[in-house]
Chain A
Amino acid sequence: MTEHYDVVIVGAGPAGLAAAEAALAHGARVAWLDAQATAGGQVWRRDVEHGWPPRAQRVIEYVTQHANATWMPQTQVVTAEASELLLQNESRAWRISYDALVLATGARELLLPFPGWTLPGVTGAGGLQALAKQGWPLAGRRVVIAGSGPLLLAVAATAKRHGAHVLGIYEQASAATVHNFAQKLWRWPGKALQAVSLRARLAGIPYRCGSIVTRALGDSTLQLIEVDGPRGVERFECDQLAVGYGLVPNVELAHALGCAMKYEGAHPCIEVDAMQCTSVPHIYAAGEVCGIGGHDCAWLEGRIAGLAATNASIGASLLRKQHHARTFAAALREYFALDPYIHDLSEPDTLICRCEDVPLRALEDYDDARNAKLATRCGMGACQGRVCGTALAELGRFPRSGLRPPLFPTRLATLGELHSSCSQGSIP
């Protein structure tokens, strides 16, 4: 039998949690699911040593313990139809249906190729933060953090907290731009406060602007990096390099559901109205998936979506706050826009598709993702083009194409469930 819920929420980060809290407060029966084992999403990811941030812990406890809430961890959506999702976890596949669906699928990191980026020891910036929070050993290791945006500071703080020796933070935006951005922060007092407290925690760590990591070197693991900045090209040793150029919305599920998209730069995000309603009736979206906006946006929009999904009234002040939070997002985008130099770091033999080891050289003759994929296998591997397809779109090569179910690599038995009339199939 298909399980039915009033509201189903996909994603357990700030947006999903706020939606769940609002919907539960209005009497709805809620199912909320996430691919991760613990709630919190990326920004509120639980730290095995230090737990959740206090604000996250409060709401996670409320939602998890609520009698009307069903929490489905380590669960992935395989396919989606009008009012039904096919789900899979470690041991089974099953269907759930809903009156309203809230997409709070968040964002992943924008990971861009450069020579040496496939070496063990090189990770995303948020990637390193996630790994560290889950016990990745950093004590005494020399760590360099690079890329763009305020996330780099948060990553450095986490790395330091876990005992890393952070050699420096390399921000691609120029010093003048970062300075101008800091001057504007007073408009968002909460953000200014965060920035000040991060600065204090990062005392002693060099923060270099206008600097780009152009190369990682090493035999079978990272040994050396090359940085190009105002002081010229420098090379130095490090054990761990974390590079992130911002975030990209996870729109795969919304796409499968037929939600209308808009573009922020090269990447699609879900189009929503003021009530967070997508172009598909009864489907709402909130947070990063509607455009990168940070966790304040996510929290406010999740709340709006949760209220809208239960037909509760939405106060004008909530809508005003959400609008203000979105203006911060726009400022971030403007000030931390990527230097085109970053699009050009790859050399002919730099691997673009990490799953299938396809070098840039092999892609030169194609201007369309589908043809490139058929001829070179680029984007054909396990990540389904989430890394290389997104990178190629950002680099202005060709847009990511062919988003097709299943949304993640899927066991055969789950695909069997797709076509079976019995909805409670279990997997051997």
Chain B
Amino acid sequence: MSTVRIEIDGETLDVPAGITVAAAIARVERPFRRSVKGHARAPFCGMGICFECRVRINGVAQQRACMIAVHEGMQVVTDD
């Protein structure tokens, strides 16, 4: 399987091409985001409904990590 190189919170990572950003973040076991009261949250619905998986992707905040596939050179910032 071919891989792509991305960066999650500054850490370089080679992941299988075609997986979602959510699946890539799960590999490094990082929290995705904090709720309004500061609790750690992670993907819940897996299909774009719940917005629990939001992270910053290539500088754009509030992107649903479960809806976007990884791309070469992608910069992901979690817990933003």
> B37 to nearest A CB, angstroms?
4
Q: For chain B, which range describes its interface: under 10, 10 to 19, 20 to 34, or 35 or more residues?
A: 35 or more
On whether the beta carbons of A355 and B47 are closer than 8 Å, the reply is no
User: What string of 1s and 0s marks CB contacts (under 8 Å) between A120-163 and chain B?
Assistant: 11111011111100111100000000000000000000000000
Find chain A residues with CB under 8 A from B19 CB. 48, 134-135
Contacts between the two chains (Cβ within 8 Å), count: 117
On whether the beta carbons of A131 and B46 are closer than 8 Å, the reply is yes
Using CB atoms, name the residue of chain A closest to B17: A48
Interface-facing stretch out of A164-172, A380-388, A395-403, A418-426: A380-388
| Interface presence of A84 (CB below 8 A) | no
Interface-facing stretch out of A3-11, A16-24, A35-43, A327-335: A35-43
Find chain B residues with CB under 8 A from A109 CB. 45, 47, 49
Find chain B residues with CB under 8 A from A36 CB. 47-48, 67
On whether the beta carbons of B40 and A48 are closer than 8 Å, the reply is no
> A354 and B52 in contact (CB under 8 A), knowing A48-B16, A127-B46, A134-B66?
yes
On whether the beta carbons of B23 and A137 are closer than 8 Å, the reply is yes
CB under 8 Å from chain B, chain A span 349-401: 354-357, 381-383, 386-387
> A13 to nearest B CB, angstroms?
11
User: What string of 1s and 0s marks CB contacts (under 8 Å) between B7-22 and chain A?
Assistant: 0000000011011101
| Interface presence of A220 (CB below 8 A) | yes
On whether the beta carbons of A354 and B46 are closer than 8 Å, the reply is no
A357 CA to B60 CA in the complex, in Å? Answer: 24
Find chain A residues with CB under 8 A from B5 CB. none
Find chain B residues with CB under 8 A from A136 CB. 20, 22-23, 26, 43, 46
Find chain B residues with CB under 8 A from A383 CB. 49-51
| Interface presence of A63 (CB below 8 A) | no
> A118 and B39 in contact (CB under 8 A), knowing A135-B23, A137-B27?
yes
> A131 and B36 in contact (CB under 8 A), knowing A48-B19, A382-B51?
no
On whether the beta carbons of A131 and B40 are closer than 8 Å, the reply is no
On whether the beta carbons of A42 and B50 are closer than 8 Å, the reply is no
Q: For B1, B31, B52, which residue has the most chain A Cβ atoms within 10 angstroms?
A: B52
Given A35-B48, A134-B66, 19 extra CB contacts under 8 A = A109-B45, A109-B49, A118-B39, A120-B31, A120-B40, A123-B45, A129-B46, A131-B66, A134-B20, A134-B69, A135-B23, A137-B23, A137-B27, A220-B31, A221-B42, A355-B51, A381-B51, A386-B50, A387-B44
Chain B interface (Cβ within 8 Å of chain A)? 1, 15-16, 18-20, 22-24, 26-27, 31-32, 35-37, 39-52, 54, 62, 66-69
Chain A interface (Cβ within 8 Å of chain B)? 35-37, 42, 48-49, 74, 108-109, 111, 118, 120-124, 126-131, 134-137, 220-221, 354-357, 381-383, 386-387, 409
